[in-house]
Structure 1
Amino acid sequence: MRYEIRVEGEMSRTMTDSFPELESCVISGQTLLFGQVTDEAHLYGLLARFQSLGLHVVEMRRLAM
């Protein structure tokens, strides 16, 4: 499964490095992270990482293959 996750604000390189399994870019003042998510447990782990870093997820969506 591929996912796209939008985070409020521009994440620093150090922050994006906390998500080595995802690629990232900045669009209109938001950080877009995207990539392969292996299963539901991985997805919940990513969300927990965002929360623990104090990041606000604006949007998350599963992409068609």
Structure 2
Amino acid sequence: MGQNPSEPGATDTQAFEIRVAGLVPQQVLVQLADVETSSRETRTVLICRCRDQAELHGFLARLRTFGLEVVEVRRLLAGTVDEESTGDGHE
């Protein structure tokens, strides 16, 4: 029997949108495996999936080791990852 995506335990990760100042160099993106990106002229949006707060904080620490300035972190609701990462309507 399959699980309903809205049931607790149906997924063990949450998606986060992380905006960083400037463009992230390609060699850094390669090291940030399994991260979706959307680059604009003055910022890069990264979508990552984390199991818990500790994993999110670890990812943010990795970004700092690359010298990236994190300007915003938002938790995305289930089902909004594709809409949020491809759209440019909300600022």
TM norm. shorter chain > 0.5? yes
Structure-to-structure mapping, 1:7-22, within 5 angstroms: 7-22=20-35
Deviation at 1:34, TM superposition (A): 0.3
- Taking the aligned partners of 1:37 and 1:21, their CA distance within structure 2 comes to 11
Taking structure 1 as the reference length, the TM-score comes to: 0.88
* Partner in structure 1 of residue 36 of structure 2: 23
- Give the % identical residues: 35
- For this pair of structures, how many residues does the alignment match? 65
Deviation of 1:28 (Å): 3.7
In our comparison, the structure showing a higher alpha carbon Rg is 2
Between 27-36 and 48-57, the greater mean CA deviation after superposition: 27-36
Question: Normalized per residue, which structure has more strand?
Answer: 1
Q: Could you tell me which amino acid in structure 2 is paired with residue 38 of structure 1?
A: R
Runs of 4+ aligned structure 1 residues displaced above 2 Å come to none
Q: What is the RMSD of the two structures over their aligned residues, measured on CA atoms? A: 1.1
Please show how residues 53-64 of structure 1 align to structure 2 within 5 Å: 53-64=66-77
Higher relative contact order (CA 8 A, sep 6+): 1
For structure 1, the residue ranges without an aligned partner over 5 or more in a row are none
- In 2, the alpha carbon distance for the partners of 1:13 and 1:54 equals 14
- Normalization by structure 2: what TM-score? 0.66
